[in-house]
């Protein structure tokens, strides 16, 4: 029994990465795309989460996913599909972001100096 739990935890270390939402990221707009979802899709062949997919942050089934900015323990930044409510609550810094486990194969590295332009307003 314990062996199974230990084995699963070890597999998780390879397939999952602990991240948090990056607050204040709404100031960045994608340089070459309409949205961060489009930026993500241009870097991935995987399907975008469908309606009814469980959001990895809140662990609830959600309708709408957006490309959220997340950051890991080593300060590396990524775009990751999260539900729109988690993105607006934590991405805009309304509440302190909890840590959650992102699936590594769905993370797209992001560098604001290369991939973003300042919001025009
Ligand atoms: Zn969520």
Question: pLDDT class for 58, splitting at 50, 70, 90?
Answer: very high
| CA separation for the pair 94, 109 (Å, rounded) | 24
Q: What is the tens place of the pLDDT at every residue in 4-26?
A: 666 666 667 789 999 999 988 88
At residue 50, φ and ψ (nearest 5 deg) are -80, 165
Q: How far is ligand 1, taken at its centre, from the CA of residue 116, in Å?
A: 24
Rounded Cα–Cα distance for residues 67 and 79 (Å): 6
Contact 55, 65 (CB under 8 A): yes
Q: Give the mean model confidence (pLDDT) for residues 89-118.
A: 91
State the pTM of this model: 0.87
Cα of 54 from ligand 1 centre, angstroms: 8
> Residue 79 C-alpha to ligand 1 middle, in angstroms?
14
DSSP labels, 33-83: SSSHHHHHHHH--SPPPPTTEEPTTT-SEES-EEEEEEEETT--EEEEEEE
Q: What pLDDT is attached to residue 92? A: 81
**Cα of 9 from ligand 1 centre, angstroms:** 23
100 has pLDDT over 80: yes
**Centre of ligand 1 from the C-alpha of residue 38, in Å:** 19
Tell how strand 100-103 and strand 16-21 pair up: antiparallel
- Residue 27 has what pLDDT? 84
Q: Which of 17-31, 44-58, 68-82 bottoms out in mean pLDDT, i.e. has the lowest?
A: 17-31
- Tens of pLDDT along 28-48? 899 999 999 999 999 999 999
Share of the chain above pLDDT 70, in %: 88
Residue 111 CA, ligand 1 centroid: distance in Å: 23
Query: How far apart are the CA of 89 and the centre of ligand 1, in A?
Result: 9
- In the chain, where the domains are located: 16-113
Number of residues that this document lists for the chain: 121
* Alpha carbon distance 14, 7 (integer Å): 11
Residue 3 has pLDDT above 80, yes or no: no
| Distance (Å) from CA 118 to ligand 1 centroid | 26
């Amino acid at each position: 029994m314990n062996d199974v739990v230990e084995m699963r935890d070890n597999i998780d270390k390879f397939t999952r990465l602990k991240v948090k939402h990056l607050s204040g990221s709404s100031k960045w707009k994608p340089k070459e795309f309409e949205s961060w979802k489009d930026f993500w899709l241009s870097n991935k062949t995987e399907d975008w989460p469908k309606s009814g997919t469980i959001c990895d942050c809140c662990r609830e089934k959600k309708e709408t996913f957006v490309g959220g900015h997340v950051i890991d323990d080593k300060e590396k930044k990524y775009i990751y599909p999260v539900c729109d409510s988690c993105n607006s609550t934590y991405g805009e810094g309304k509440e302190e972001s909890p840590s959650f486990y992102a699936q590594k194969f769905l993370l797209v590295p992001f560098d604001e100096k290369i991939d973003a332009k300042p919001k025009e307003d």
